[in-house]
Chain A
Amino acid sequence: MESYALLIAATLNAGTVLALAALGLLINEKAGIVNLGAEGMMLCAAITGFATVVHTGSDLLGFAAGMGAGAVLAALFGLLVIWLGTNQYATGLALSLFGVGFSAFVGIGYVQEKLPARAQFEVPWLSDIPLLGPALFRQHPLVYGAIAFALALIWFLYRTRTGLVLRAVGESPESAHALGYDVRRIRLAAVVTGGALCGLAGAYISVIYTPLWVEGMVAGKGWIALALTTFATWRPARVLLGAYLFGGVTMLQFHLQGAGVDVPSQLLTALPYVATIVVLALISRNPTWIRINMPASLGKAFHPGS
């Protein structure tokens, strides 16, 4: 039983990375922008966050630096896509390719570095409950932060005026523009916020999840997060749920290996990627359903006054 509690704890931990990134990407997709640069932003944020913690010893500064790195790269992407009208797919791809190379380049000096061991976080009293305690209440604060953020995002998107404007920009930028909203600035704000959250997810990977720096350590989580927004048909609650589901799939491999199941480790490593493909195919099977739920202007450029 104890091992199941640990599996659940590990699932929440792994899911948090995906949840933070996917919720961020959801925000910019709600405004009509697809950023395929998630993987690159997360990698750059991972090395920035890691290096910051190595030099300052402060996790908080590390997270802040990671968010900053993600936001800066997203802003660059946003300027190209929103003001110069470059193709969103190609520009995002450029960001991912650049991020892979750049993070490897600046990270070369940090490959051997280790972070000091840190105390385990515990929620007072609750963490002592048998089974439930180790499963749910001995997590890094950000794990709970991600859940709180998802709830706040639901409230923001569906209960506030600003959230309504954001969605309007994604559904019909022409109407939002006609009503006097500055579509491009709103889109940029959404893209930068999305980048900051991807950055936070990246920093969480290198500072908490696996506290070290390895080239390419994000290992496709940025791409899985992108797929998650589609899985969730652009609903924050489903994004969160999907993130834990995939966190579970990622953790299952270690669990199965630990349990001595005789499967090639490569098959288990490939599992999250195969699962992503399978779920993507199942969810996308009905094109109408996807079209109804997808922000209508997603991926399309908007030129005011043209």
Chain B
Amino acid sequence: MLKLEARPEASTFWSLASPVLALLLTVLVGVALFMALGKDPVRGLQMFFWEPIKSAYALGELMVKATPLLVIALGLGVCYRSNVWNIGAEGQFVMGAVAAGGVALLADATTGRWIVVAIVLAGVLGGMAWAGLVALLRDRFNANEILVSLMLVYVADMVLSYLVYGPWKDPAGYNFPQSKTFAAVTQIPRLMSGSRVSVGLLLALVGVAVMWVFLFRTRAGFAQQVGGLAPAAARYAGFSSRKALWVALLVSGGAAGLAGALEVAGPIGQLTPYVPAGYGFAAIIVAYVGRLHPVGMVFSAVLMSMFYIGGELAQSRLGLPKSITGVFQGLLLFSLLACDTLVAYRLRWPKGA
């Protein structure tokens, strides 16, 4: 029988190869799934891996979806590196969107372009506040952040639902649960005409650089991560675990809130019950598949965006349910965790067996 043998140190090769192997495994299962459903697997794979990159417009759409995923994942990367388990980014995203939407609704024809800055800031603060609640309950009451952050996702959805069914409902909206369409001036500036790609993408890429510098080139970033890797060592070095907790949650909440603001004032343009699109959960997978490394997350965000677009295309062109996206996302994380065994262990055939 195969045996696992601990490596003297973690394998750098497998740390990078494991996500690739996990993707291959997911694709294999995908092929089997398409065949089981009586669909041409080649066409199925095309929807996911070729259609999203075959034209400039398609590439733009790929970036539109990759942007919120990357922004949220960058924040989660800091969080998970600090061993803080925030799994409620979806709720922080929604509250960011709500706060940003609240500001955007104030705008009218006379408002200046500065409103965009206010919208983005409101989004960041909204997400921070929601994650801050998690930090407060963890810090003061020792409440498990996994459960609290997740419960707050449901609460955030209800806040959004209350607003769009109640006080913020568009009076001229034929009773649909949605806010007024935001004034044109609130639109996050686009990078070029003919594509929906906005400055959000640039913000995300700046975020990658900032996160890299923070994590690997500053003392604060180092202190932040030591707490996660070796709590005892962190205490000995005098690094505050409480501070690490607050920083982790405020950064990840702020990032998720920013993504929420970029979405509502960008592609969506109003508040509806469909603002939560699962980006907050998908970003968890982005963070892991990207090895919690800012640059790695760029690749995994694009990959996850392909899954989203592929799922939509599989629905419209192959007649498959869109939820196939969720199946592949879950499979990818599963296979990644399994493949990661190879980072710490090698497979051996025991002698004489």
Nearest neighbor of B134 in chain A, beta-carbon distance: A277
Contacts of B137 in A (CB 8 A): 277, 280-281
Nearest neighbor of B80 in chain A, beta-carbon distance: A90
Q: How far is the CA of A97 from the CA of B324 in the complex (A)?
A: 12
- Tell me whether B144 and A97 are in contact (CB under 8 A): no
Q: How far is the CA of A253 from the CA of B147 in the complex (A)?
A: 22
- Tell me whether B161 and A266 are in contact (CB under 8 A): yes
Q: How far is the CA of A108 from the CA of B327 in the complex (A)?
A: 13
Contacts of A7 in B (CB 8 A): none
Instruction: Given the known inter-chain contacts A230-B144, A264-B166, please indicate yes or no for A220 contacting B154, CB distance below 8 A.
Output: yes
- Tell me whether B323 and A101 are in contact (CB under 8 A): yes
Q: From residue 243 to 290 of chain B, which have CB atoms closer than 8 A to chain A?
A: 281, 284-285, 288
| Cβ contact of A280, chosen from B85, B144, B324, B327, cutoff 8 A | B144
Over the window 248-287 of chain A, the binary record of Cβ atoms lying under 8 Å from chain B Cβ atoms (1 yes, 0 no) is 0000000000000000101101100110110011101111
Please tell me if B32 contacts chain A, counting CB pairs below 8 Å.
Answer: no
Q: How far is the CA of A220 from the CA of B155 in the complex (A)?
A: 11
Instruction: Given the known inter-chain contacts A264-B166, A273-B154, A276-B151, please indicate yes or no for A80 contacting B325, CB distance below 8 A.
Output: no
Return 23 A-B CB contacts under 8 Å, by A number: A36-B146, A76-B334, A86-B338, A90-B333, A90-B337, A94-B334, A97-B281, A98-B331, A101-B324, A101-B330, A104-B326, A105-B323, A219-B154, A220-B150, A224-B151, A227-B147, A266-B161, A274-B155, A276-B147, A280-B143, A280-B144, A284-B141, A285-B142
Please tell me if A223 contacts chain B, counting CB pairs below 8 Å.
Answer: yes
Please tell me if B87 contacts chain A, counting CB pairs below 8 Å.
Answer: yes
Instruction: Given the known inter-chain contacts A98-B334, A105-B323, please indicate yes or no for A266 contacting B158, CB distance below 8 A.
Output: yes
Instruction: Given the known inter-chain contacts A105-B321, A220-B151, please indicate yes or no for A264 contacting B162, CB distance below 8 A.
Output: yes
Chain B interface, >50% SS class:
helix
Chain A interface, >50% SS class:
helix
Please tell me if A1 contacts chain B, counting CB pairs below 8 Å.
Answer: no
Please tell me if B152 contacts chain A, counting CB pairs below 8 Å.
Answer: yes
Q: From residue 103 to 151 of chain B, which have CB atoms closer than 8 A to chain A?
A: 137, 141-144, 146-148, 150-151
Q: Hey, which bits of chain B sit against chain A, CB under 8 A? A: 4, 6, 85, 87, 137, 141-144, 146-148, 150-152, 154-155, 158-159, 161-162, 165-166, 281, 284-285, 288, 321, 323-331, 333-334, 337-338, 340-341, 344
A36 CB to closest chain B CB, in angstroms?
7
| Cβ contact of A285, chosen from B87, B141, B154, B329, cutoff 8 A | B141
Q: How far is the CA of A220 from the CA of B153 in the complex (A)?
A: 10
Q: How far is the CA of A219 from the CA of B285 in the complex (A)?
A: 21
Q: How far is the CA of A209 from the CA of B331 in the complex (A)?
A: 30
Contacts of A227 in B (CB 8 A): 144, 147, 151
Contacts of B288 in A (CB 8 A): 90
- Tell me whether B141 and A98 are in contact (CB under 8 A): no
| Cβ contact of B325, chosen from A84, A93, A101, cutoff 8 A | A101
Contacts of A36 in B (CB 8 A): 146
- Tell me whether A101 and B162 are in contact (CB under 8 A): no
| Cβ contact of B323, chosen from A86, A104, A264, A269, cutoff 8 A | A104
- Tell me whether A223 and B150 are in contact (CB under 8 A): yes
